[in-house]
Chain A
Amino acid sequence: MKSNTADMVFEGLLRIADDNLILGHRTSEWCGHAPTLEEDLALPNIALDLIGHAQTLYCLACEINSRYKNEDQLAFLRLEHEYKNLLLVEQENGDFGNTVLRLFYFSTFMKYFWERVKINCCFKKLKEFSEKAFLETSYHSRYASQWVVTLGDGTDESNLKMSNAISNLEPFLGELFNNDDFTEMCSQNDFLPEPTSIFDSWKNEVETILQKGNLNFPDIILKKRGGRKGEHSEAFGYLLSDLQYMQRAYPNSSW
């Protein structure tokens, strides 16, 4: 792989891996605290998939960039500004409605993302991985969509909470569909799809589900952003202090 292609693939893998790791981390926080035992099983299961995706992607990234010796170095030992995840995924969970709505937004996006990678990606290993990732994110999207409809349609209280969740997450959706120089380069090189190319499919599906739950589709304009450049929110610092605690407290140890 030429060095500029390697840089592109490395950065692209990191963006997706970080999104998955950080959302997996947030989702795993529900373990033991969910509204029903079924959700106590489902949410860690989804967290397991998301963190599993991150692990695979970090391993691929390490194969490309020899500066990092293993996936854990990427997951646990970078500084805050070196994480390239979306601000959407690092926000605190909020209530169960906010959690499933964010999962629905993200996994529906990723479902269409992986569907495109499956069709066209110059990096063979990622193309192969996209088969599995597509199936799993499709399941996450279906699971979360059922809750969005249920909570939107359920009671006046639950509908209000879901409307609040829509407002709460609205400022973070623009970043999900934001093209930048990097995404354009990835698309031109047949590596990754441009985020804007996913918007219509995503909107169509999200709008249908929100309608079923008597909820309004949010305004999507670029408001809060910075995650892709490593500029994170306050909540992220606390997340990292949990995530990195062991590796920082006991450096150079095997686990």
Chain B
Amino acid sequence: MAREQNEKIVSLEEFQEKIDRDEKIEPKDSMPEAYRKTLIRQIGQHAHSEVVGMLPEGNWITRAPTLRRKLSLLAKVQDEAGHGLYLYCAAETLGKSRMEMTQELLSGEAKYSSIFNYPTPTWADIGAIGWLVDGAAIMNQIPLCRCSYGPYARAMIRICKEESFHQRQGYEIMLTLARGTKAQKEMAQRALNRWWWPSVMMFGPSDADSPNTENSVKWKIKRYTNDELRQKFVDAIVPQAKKIGLTVPDKDLKWDKKRNNGQGGYAYGEINWDEFWRVVRGDGPMNNERISAKQKAWNEGSWVRAAAHAHALKKQTALHAAE
């Protein structure tokens, strides 16, 4: 996509002043190359996460236990495809095409949220994903509604509304299981055990090891650091788990009145960063399966896309001939 050639070039200082005045940056505005690149990377990764995230949940649509659950799950996964579309469009306004981003996803060059490299062996995993993964996503995404880049901020407003609905839906699945039979409650606990640590890791490396945070905060792409958001998440989820009688699998979890500037918060155990980096680098339980599924769908759909392209060209030619 060709970028606007006649954009007014502003200095880094002028750009920062604009950000500091809380003015939104729009697609045709001048922006530092690093700001553009950071956003393309972040929005692209976000879009890929929505699209890959359809797989672990999508595989439970045909096995959902009731019609009501089946319909809710279908609606949820469909929302995720919609979020992916929105976000690719938002990223395109920065000058990178969806095709380029898709190729990077399929080649493994682009990242997506590592959480989707974990498996969903039981129905309770669908509850845990909604509750924990969408819960963590909301913590990350609500501040993005105020992100300095206009198209991203506007897309996030709608996405957050839908994610918040998904989170309630996930928690309600867990609540129902926790109040159900012994087998159901055990299924819920096992899913919480599986998803807890990967969800805590979703906020990314600790602030000390997060090279992109400083600029992102300065440019108001990010409003909170990874560790601040992680703390909010733990503080929100622990009481919810207690309420439904499930146990957060962290023996070091305890109330610490010094946290959150003396307002109190939960201290949590050591995060296994080796596991985090291993999954980011491609060695998670489902990395190969997820990318292979997307590659297979893309390759098997190539004749469909080629036909759509050829048909559109024929229609265009016929239209010109008629004029």
Contacts and interface: CB of A to CB of B under 8 A. Distances in A.
A143 B254 CA distance: 55
Given A28-B62, A44-B77, A33 B293 contact: yes
Contacts of A39: 301
A44 B81 contact: yes
Interface string B297-323: 110111111111111001000000000
Interface in A147-171: 149-151, 153-155, 157-158, 161
A148 to B, nearest CB: 11
A158 B312 CA distance: 14
A35 B301 contact: yes
B99 to A, nearest CB: 11
A45 B304 contact: no
Contacts of A204: none
B74 interface: yes
Contacts of B71: 48, 51-52, 55
Nearest to B55: A32
Contact of A150 (B54, B59, B307): B307
B95 interface: no
Nearest to A158: B307
Contact of A96 (B59, B70, B304): B304
A206 interface: no
Interface residues of A, number: 49
Contact of B67 (A58, A150, A250): A58
Interface string B44-62: 0000000100110011011
B78 interface: yes
B78 A44 contact: yes
Most chain A beta-carbon contacts within 10 A, residue among B55, B78, B88, B300: B78
The secondary structure that dominates the B interface is: helix
Interface string A51-68: 110110010000000000
A41 B85 contact: yes
B229 to A, nearest CB: 28
Interface in A10-41: 25, 28-29, 31-41
A38 B180 CA distance: 38
Interface string A243-255: 1011100101111
Contacts of B61: 28-29, 31, 44, 47
13 contacts: A28-B74, A31-B77, A32-B58, A33-B296, A48-B78, A55-B67, A149-B311, A153-B310, A154-B309, A154-B310, A246-B64, A250-B181, A253-B181
Across the A-B interface, the 6 shortest Cβ-Cβ residue pairs: A35-B301, A154-B307, A158-B307, A246-B65, A41-B81, A35-B304
Given A32-B51, A55-B71, A154-B309, 5 more contacts: A40-B81, A52-B71, A151-B311, A154-B308, A243-B63
Interface of B: 51, 54-55, 58-59, 61-71, 74-75, 77-78, 81-82, 84-85, 88, 123, 176, 180-181, 183-184, 293, 296-298, 300-311, 314
